[in-house]
Chains A and B, each alone.
Chain A
């Protein structure tokens, strides 16, 4: 196990991501989700959405394409990329994010502990829309086994 200093309190620079319909379509195609809500704007509008909504786990795209990508996380946490696993993930949805939204997010290390010879880091990410309203909170646990 590598010996790293305490990372609690460290955060990424704020990163911004423009949510586009094309990226939503690409994402649901990769999952194999054929729900037209994510691909057909007519269906989305009929159901009362401003535009195509993002699927429940899409915020990972905001992180990875927006600035908190795998390489950035490895450097931030100083962990061995071959030993990193995703332990937990959760989302608290406050407002529906749709195509056309510009989201700004910051990821912060809020906890770090060692358990059974593994290092666990808890990361919290806050996502805000153009009006600086918090639309989503996410928590993840990254493990170095």
Chain B
């Protein structure tokens, strides 16, 4: 099983989460308003799962050409709080005739898994 070059990001900040809320249009206040996060029983706001998946997506298109990615699916495992440093790891699990079946995992510095998923990479480049 071939491991791909891991991608480590700068620590997640409150500002980045707010910026992601604006960019993505996901204004669930649990991500941007601390008192609402506390009302929900959390110690702080949490990063959008989609911000963490976006970071995984960044790694995918670092490892392979953008238009080779055919499928990308993840399961969110654990919440991400400001201050955490995320690393994306990828593995080529299986090689078929025209496709690579790969796994991706995002973890923090304590190796707690934030998301785990799979993606398919076409060996052929196809443009729209």
Pairwise interchain contact A50-B57, C-beta atoms closer than 8 A: no
Pairwise interchain contact A56-B57, C-beta atoms closer than 8 A: yes
Residues in B with CB closer than 8 Å to A37 are 61, 66
Pairwise interchain contact B23-A50, C-beta atoms closer than 8 A: no
B64 CB to nearest A CB, Å = 11
Q: How large is the interface on A (under 10, 10 to 19, 20 to 34, 35 or more residues)?
A: 35 or more
Take A26-B22, A33-B58 as given contacts and tell me if A96 and B74 are in contact as well, using a CB distance cutoff of 8 Å: no
Take A26-B23, A30-B23 as given contacts and tell me if A92 and B51 are in contact as well, using a CB distance cutoff of 8 Å: no
- How far is it, in angstroms, between the C-alpha of A44 and the C-alpha of B70 when the chains are bound? 19
- How far is it, in angstroms, between the C-alpha of A95 and the C-alpha of B122 when the chains are bound? 13
- From the candidates A32, A65, A87, A92, name the one contacting B55 in the complex (CB within 8 A): A32
Residues in B with CB closer than 8 Å to A56 are 54, 57, 60-61, 66, 69, 72
- How far is it, in angstroms, between the C-alpha of A83 and the C-alpha of B19 when the chains are bound? 23
Q: Is A118 an interface residue (CB 8 A)?
A: no
Which chain B residues (50-94) contact chain A, with CB distance < 8 Å? 50-51, 53-55, 57-58, 60-62, 65-67, 69-76
Q: Is A6 an interface residue (CB 8 A)?
A: no
Q: Is B24 an interface residue (CB 8 A)?
A: yes
Q: Is B39 an interface residue (CB 8 A)?
A: yes
Residues in A with CB closer than 8 Å to B127 are 48-50, 96
Pairwise interchain contact A61-B66, C-beta atoms closer than 8 A: no
Q: How large is the interface on B (under 10, 10 to 19, 20 to 34, 35 or more residues)?
A: 35 or more
- How far is it, in angstroms, between the C-alpha of A90 and the C-alpha of B56 when the chains are bound? 12
Which chain B residues (27-53) contact chain A, with CB distance < 8 Å? 27-30, 36, 39-40, 48-51, 53
Please indicate which of the listed interface residues A48, A84, A135 has the most CB atoms of chain B within 10 Å of its own CB. A48
Residues in B with CB closer than 8 Å to A33 are 54-55, 57-58, 61
Q: Is A116 an interface residue (CB 8 A)?
A: no
Pairwise interchain contact A64-B61, C-beta atoms closer than 8 A: no
Take A55-B54, A64-B26 as given contacts and tell me if A88 and B20 are in contact as well, using a CB distance cutoff of 8 Å: no
Pairwise interchain contact A30-B75, C-beta atoms closer than 8 A: no
- How far is it, in angstroms, between the C-alpha of A61 and the C-alpha of B69 when the chains are bound? 19
Pairwise interchain contact A61-B23, C-beta atoms closer than 8 A: yes
Residues in B with CB closer than 8 Å to A105 are none
Pairwise interchain contact A83-B71, C-beta atoms closer than 8 A: no
Residues in A with CB closer than 8 Å to B71 are 90-93
* Residues of A in contact with B (beta carbons under 8 Å apart): 23, 26-33, 35, 37, 47-50, 53, 55-57, 60-61, 63-65, 69-71, 81-93, 95-98, 135, 139
